[in-house]
Amino acid sequence: MIIDRIELVHLKLPLNSPWKTAYGTEDSVESLFLKAHSGKLSAWTETCALSKPDYLPECSHSARIAIDQFFMELFLGKDFQTADEIHEAFSIYKGNTFAKSALELCWWALTCKEENKALHQTIGGTKKAVEAGIAISLQKNNAALLKKIDAALKTGYKRVKLKISPGKDREMIAEVRQEFPKINLQVDCNGAYTRNDIDVLKSLDEFNLGLIEQPFYYTDIADHAELQAVIDTDICLDESIRSYHDAEQAIRLGACRSIALKMGRVGGLSQLLKIHDLCKQNNIGCWIGGMLESPVGTMINAHLASLPGITNASDLPIGDERYSLDFCEEVTAEKAKIHLTKDSWIKQDIDEDKLKDQAIFMQEYTVFLTISAYE
């Protein structure tokens, strides 16, 4: 597969409601949309690294620059037969996992187009429909949170994940559990706690949580191992897993019993598949995490959630849960189950004129030249 042209569009997507976590509050999200071309084949992809480097050191701006300055010349016009070859070519540069993933995903998209297969078929997915879970950000008060959860359950979401932070944890969870004693409830700390909070985190065992996601800082795999050794609730790692090596080390140290899989965070779909297989071999739970993608990225994630080792409902917002966008279709579901079609790549029609009209930056790359950008 030789990709001979790529259109890169950097968008700012306004959220329907503010997204508040331990990192801060977001009213919008910036995401990179890439349209890849190989001869007569073409396909759109999305990679969302968020607007600011608060989730991880990389963000949409730095990913875009890394694509332009370092990775595009290693990728465009080269004949890659496998995604592993792309990963190897990119490995001369450290980090920049979202930039690497954005280009590798172009290869997957056009491979699907060439083979006339849906993404879930190409990667060995075994499910024709996948369960959607919802993540709920910090709310202004517990009453607002309970109302949000009730609406999610009526929609049919199979799993509810709450954002928590120091001071907004135990009391809030207790009230939610009292109101909804039987739901699949998880919490996400976004690295807001430290080893000094082990007793607080251990006290959450009484609430029968499905898991506690990323309690400590993203580099603290050893500290997570210390916590998992004294807590009954499963620890799930997100930000800490930025490569296959990180996943192998975390599992070997006993730092977690679950991993949230995000291809942008680990450097591409090829690496996500390897980590998925590693989890499956070691009886470690895994599921597909979200990055506040548009419906385009959500549908890509839905196909990934068809993998046989997925053990939990994935982060798959449906309808207008996150956005009201005019350039793509909303993700639809039946009782919060997303049915996957056999259309080549993913079934997402994009209005290119409307998408490009909203660009804050746009650039086109061909094998022979780079067409001038604007922002």
pLDDT by residue, tens only, the chain of 375 residues: 899 999 999 999 999 999 999 988 999 999 999 999 999 999 999 999 999 999 999 999 999 999 999 999 999 999 999 999 999 999 999 999 999 999 999 999 999 999 999 999 999 999 999 999 999 999 999 999 999 999 999 999 989 999 999 999 999 999 999 999 999 999 999 999 999 999 999 999 999 999 999 999 999 999 999 999 999 999 999 999 999 999 999 999 999 999 999 999 999 999 999 999 999 999 999 999 999 999 999 999 999 999 999 999 999 999 989 999 999 999 999 988 999 988 889 987 899 999 999 999 999 999 865 555 555
- At 370 the pLDDT is 59
Measured distance CA(63)–CA(30) in Å, rounded: 11
CB-side neighbour CA atoms (13 Å) of 280: 11
pLDDT at 343: 86
Q: Is 160 exposed, middle or buried (0-12, 13-18, 19+ CB in 10 A)?
A: buried
pLDDT score, position 369: 59
Q: What is the pLDDT of residue 236?
A: 98
Kindly state the tokens that stand for 13. Answer: 């997507």
Quick one: CA dihedral 72, 73, 74, 75, positive or negative? positive
How much is the pLDDT for 23?
87
Distance CA(169)–CA(147), nearest Å, equals: 17
Task: Map out the domains of the chain as residue ranges.
Answer: 5-115+349-374, 120-339
Question: Per residue in 226-280, pLDDT tens?
Answer: 999 999 999 999 999 999 999 999 999 999 999 999 999 999 999 999 999 999 9
**At 364, which amino acid appears?**
E
Nearest Cα residue to 264 out of 241, 247, 294, 237: 241
| Cα 34 to Cα 17: distance, rounded to the nearest angstrom | 26
Q: Say how many C-beta atoms besides its own lie within 10 A of residue 318's C-beta.
A: 22
Question: According to the model, what pLDDT value does residue 347 have?
Answer: 81
Pairing of strands 212-213, 24-38: unpaired
Record the tokens describing residue 133, joined without a space: 């879970």
Handedness of CA 22, 185, 299, 90 (dihedral sign): positive
Per-residue burial over 107-133, b if 16 or more Cβ lie within 10 Å, else e, is bbbbbbbeeebbbbbbbebebeebbbb
For 255-298, give the DSSP string.
Answer: --SEEEE-HHHHTSHHHHHHHHHHHHHTT-EEEE---S--HHHH
Neighbour count for residue 330 (Cβ, 10 Å): 17
What are the pLDDT digits (tens) for 124-177?
Answer: 999 999 999 999 999 999 999 999 999 999 999 989 999 999 999 999 999 999
User: Residue 10's beta-bridge partner residues?
Assistant: 32, 361
CA–CA gap between residue 296 and residue 9 (Å, rounded): 14
pLDDT of residue 367: 82
**CATH architecture for segment(s) 5-115+349-374:** 2-Layer Sandwich (3.30)
Neighbours of 143 (CB within 10 A): 10
Q: By the 8 A CB rule, do 235 and 211 touch?
A: yes
Residues 6+ apart with CB under 8 A from 353: none
Res 52: pLDDT = 92
Tokens of 182: 């039987």
The tokens describing 179, both together, are 């109101």
Q: Which of the residues are catalytic?
A: 163, 262
Helix, strand and coil content of the chain, in percent to the nearest 5, comes to: 35, 25, 40
Among residues 12, 3, 7, 108, the alpha carbon closest in space to that of 59 is found at: 12
Q: What is the CATH number of domain 120-339?
A: 3.20.20.120
Give 73's DSSP letter: H
Q: Within a 10 A sphere around the Cβ of 375, how many other Cβ atoms? A: 8
CA angle 123, 276, 346 (to 5 degrees): 30
Give the whole-angstrom CA distance, residue 259 versus residue 219.
15
Q: Report d(CA 30, CA 49) in Å as an integer.
A: 8
Nearest residue to 3 via CA among 44, 48, 42: 42
